[in-house]
Structure 1
């Protein structure tokens, strides 16, 4: 990953190096030197200007020595990166703006709020910009967007390198890469480069820079395969393709005669780790960055992941990120669909402050997604989700799910929501089949709690209350804000005869959604007039909800 100089000019002044060895510049005049250059035409100022602005009306020699000492300090701090950022001549100092990105915005506080430098020329310069911050605000709109333009991160798997001379393992190593790519490709959040492309790269000496540039990938899976006694051992490395850093490694060992049979289950754990890692890294990346500085693929991954976190502030942040993603790529169908899903969850979980408005926005976004790509299985699925959960129109929902599965039989979310629809219609066996298929097709989703929550509903419809409770508890352990899971848990406990626990769960539901009532459930839930809905009403009534 290329080294960058990140700068925040409004509020607290921050100057730091990222992409290589992290380094924060802390000295007041060192930071001030960078800010003067960053706001200068072409990033360049004369030595005389810098001397007078930062050290005042001292003698020429004294000012010259102070500037030379400051540059020497920076050279010592930055090492070889000094020449990446600064070009120094006998007359000028220039900051290479190609390597600079700006954090924050003029809304974050006063210009250089914490730099207490008292030289009159510096104070006058700061006051001039504070009086008219628009003269530097353009910096925050023109930050280089080298890695922007791709809404989803790109990933590939190289065939594992065989340790030793074993042609049978070579075939097996290539097959493992193919299976990994196939599993990854089931996610709506990743763009997977075919293992055939990566196989061509793997025939030459391993050069991560060449792979990154040729395949244009963000992440890379590589590793080795070998025999050890009677086992076949595969070691996987998950790498950041831009920095070359190994993010983690995983180890699979199976008896040689059972390797192909056991691989799918073992490989699923590797794929799940990849999904969680990409989601966690995206969330960490967006935490302290303003929207203009966030790469497109991190917007989408972080937005979707935060949508399924337990904290309300994360859910609200998710909408901000997804809305920005739509603004950047308005013709990307699946991003509209994800934003539509956000509005569905907002209404269905009782988090909205304007249900009518959020309902309309959900339908607008799913309609826009289908206008862009009428055959997108994901967009069809979310449109069905909206019609089922917001409009209680099960026939349209079923039609959308069936169309989605016709377009893509491996669309995990379609199987999941179709299974839930079957549960709402009291077909418990079909519900469990659909949910099970969905879980088998979705090894990478970083929000498995949602699958567990809907699995719990399916098992209530199938009257397997022990399983319903098991999946509800698994879901709530990850995200206890999903209110429908609390309803399902209370229902399972009631029919298991655990009335005290059912009452406590109902109390927790009311604590989290004080305006919830059985009348509201009857009016808004698509299953309210079916047997499964009547079971929920019976359980919640017995637990003390009116």
Structure 2
């Protein structure tokens, strides 16, 4: 009945899917069914524990294959490699030896009881048809998240045309065994796809005042484009430096290394809004496409969607309308909530006591105007985390509780908002040391928006904390590539400094930490890494100055108390950090 069907439908979620298939199973069964089924049962006895041990859930057995759900792309890939290795070592059963093909993809699915359905399932099943016997084939969505974390050779298969799937899927083969030392890890993110910069749209309204709408329009376009794995999209905050300037495609290409540039104008006349947009090829300066749009009153968000759809259709014609609807990020229901969020965000990272305090009521007002605004809740949670780590909190226990409450609420409001996922992941990591859940949230953020600079950067910090420093550096570098001129780029530099510090590269830490400090000398987290690394490299005088700056911002700082609660997972690293801070002149 419809009522029973409604109970079975449990919504949608983002998952990692693995498809396993036996090569030539049908012909083997046709020739000797009893022996084939006995061999299949023996194979299942060998591989099912490997899948379960990695957190895999078999949600469908197809007779000649399996569909398995995982929460982590790294766990899924390691499990698949373990399965292939186990199958290769299995003795023949009644003279039958099977070979498996496997594909892994990360995508959104519909949940029907214990079953998973939808586009993500279709893609992984079709992708598996291209996997080599005994091999593992992963989509770009998975490769972005396992690159540098899987110790296996990688082969770029390029774009594959899948049966009954309209758009091509870029795939990579992942094999068992050690990667040769002469072969650098494949970084699918930096090797792939054209790039685009969406510059601030010029406000041509006679009395001005359309900047918030034009900012929202540009953010909508960037959000839609960023979710497409075909493109690398530079973040909105890095584009603010071009506001009020006449766009020069040659300069933009030189600054950002992009191929495409989108510019436009916004003009408001009462309730009416007129928008013009132009897409240019930065390599030759040619205009690829231009158009004009008009909307009014309640139709402003629809106007944003229409423009986003036109741009995407021009750059990536294989993207269907349904795909566009999926990738458009959830917005606030009112522009007022969006404005309060932007004003709060502007004050949040200044780290000046009074201005920092003003950010919280602004974010509170955004949440009151739109109680389902995930980003506002996530930023408020981050405010409490910053308050603790900057040494500004009079009652840390209360701030811990608020950060926990707000971050969890943000996740319930929008499970696919990369900004909310990234900030919630950061809170789980830095405050609660829940690194596994944090990485899961970061992976979801990157899968939802592969060009989310904040997801790559905040996840870098977590990988530094757990000691995976090569991956930490890789993620920080990708984040900086996506947002080189962010208004809060000092924070990005500090995250890159953290990655180098965790790796024991103190000279590199000093370089990045100096760059961060030059832009914001009140950021205590950066000052700690700067002071420690200067002490470690024998630059005692400058280390003392950095320690003095830190004590000026946080007079009650105590090395022992701080180090005991730091997010570094390895106690040896925490001890070394404390010793270097004391060596820099900070009080025990």
- The TM-score, its normalising length taken from structure 2, stands at 0.46
For the pair shown, the structure with the greater C-alpha radius of gyration is 1
Relative to its length, the structure with more helix (as a share) is 1
Relative to its length, the structure with more strand (as a share) is 2
